Structure 1
Amino acid sequence: MTRLLFVHAHPDDETLATGVAILHHVERGDDVHVLTCTLGEEGEVIPAALAHLEGADGDPLAEHRRGELAGATSTLGVTSHLLGAADAGGRPAYRDSGMVGSAAFAHDRAFAGADLDEVAAEVRATVEAIGPDVVVTYDEQGGYGHPDHIRVHDAVRRALAQMPSAPPLFVTHTPRSWAVEDRVWLASHLPSGTGYAVPSPNDPYPPSVVDDDLVTHAVVDPSVVERQQEALRAHETQVVVGEGWFALSNNIASRLPGREGYALLDPTTGALVQSEGPAGRRPGLVGDDA
Structure 2
Amino acid sequence: MSRLLFVHAHPDDETLATGVAILHHVAAGDDVHVLTCTLGEEGEVIPADLAHLEGAEGDPLADHRRGELAGAVSVLGVTHHFLGADREGDRPTYRDSGMVGSLAFENPRAFAGAEFIEVAEAMRVAIDGIAPDVVVTYDSEGGYGHPDHIRVHDAVRGALAENPSAPTLFVALTPRSWVAEDRAWLAEHVPANSGYAVPASNDPVAPSVVEDDLVTHHVVDPSVVEDQQDALRAHATQVVVFDGWYALSNDIAARLAGREGYARLDPTTGDLVPGDGRVRTGLSGART
Equivalent residue for 1:102?
102
After superposition, residues 14-163 of structure 1 pair within 5 angstroms as 14-86=14-86, 91-163=91-163
Contact 2:240/2:248 (8 A) holds in 1: yes
Deviation at 1:122, TM superposition (A): 1.0
- Where in structure 1 are there 5+ consecutive unaligned residues? none
- Where in structure 2 are there 5+ consecutive unaligned residues? none
Paired-residue identity, %: 74
What SS is found at the alignment partner of 1:172? strand
Q: Residue deviations 1:68-115, cap 9 Å, x none?
A: 000001100000100013386664210000001100001000000011
- Relative distance call for 1:115 and 1:162 in structure 2 (3 A) is farther
Q: Residue deviations 1:14-63, cap 9 Å, x none?
A: 00000000000000011000000000000000000000000000000000
Contact 1:87/1:93 (8 A) holds in 2: no
RMSD: 1.3
Tell me, in whole angstroms, the C-alpha distance in 2 between the residues paired with 1:237 and 1:25. Answer: 27
- Relative distance call for 1:245 and 1:167 in structure 2 (3 A) is same
Tell me, in whole angstroms, the C-alpha distance in 2 between the residues paired with 1:234 and 1:45. Answer: 13
Deviation at 1:287, TM superposition (A): 3.8
Deviation at 1:285, TM superposition (A): 1.1
TM-score, L = length of structure 1: 0.96
After superposition, residues 134-213 of structure 1 pair within 5 angstroms as 134-213=134-213
Tell me, in whole angstroms, the C-alpha distance in 1 between the residues paired with 2:82 and 2:52. Answer: 25
Give runs of ≥4 in structure 1 deviating > 6 Å. none
Q: Residue deviations 1:171-230, cap 9 Å, x none?
A: 000000001100000000112321000000011000010011110101000000000000
In the alignment, is residue 274 of structure 1 matched against residue 262 of structure 2? no
What SS is found at the alignment partner of 1:57? coil
Q: Which letter does structure 1 place at the counterpart of 2:43?
A: G
Q: Which letter does structure 2 place at the counterpart of 1:81?
A: H
Q: How many residues align?
A: 286
Which segment is superposed worse, 88-97 or 167-176? Answer: 88-97
What SS is found at the alignment partner of 1:184? helix
What SS is found at the alignment partner of 1:98? coil
Q: Residue deviations 1:221-268, cap 9 Å, x none?
A: 000000000000000000000000010000000000000000100000
What SS is found at the alignment partner of 2:63? helix
Deviation at 1:147, TM superposition (A): 0.1
- Relative distance call for 1:113 and 1:194 in structure 2 (3 A) is same
TM-score, L = length of structure 2: 0.97
Deviation at 1:170, TM superposition (A): 0.1
Q: Which letter does structure 1 place at the counterpart of 2:179?
A: A
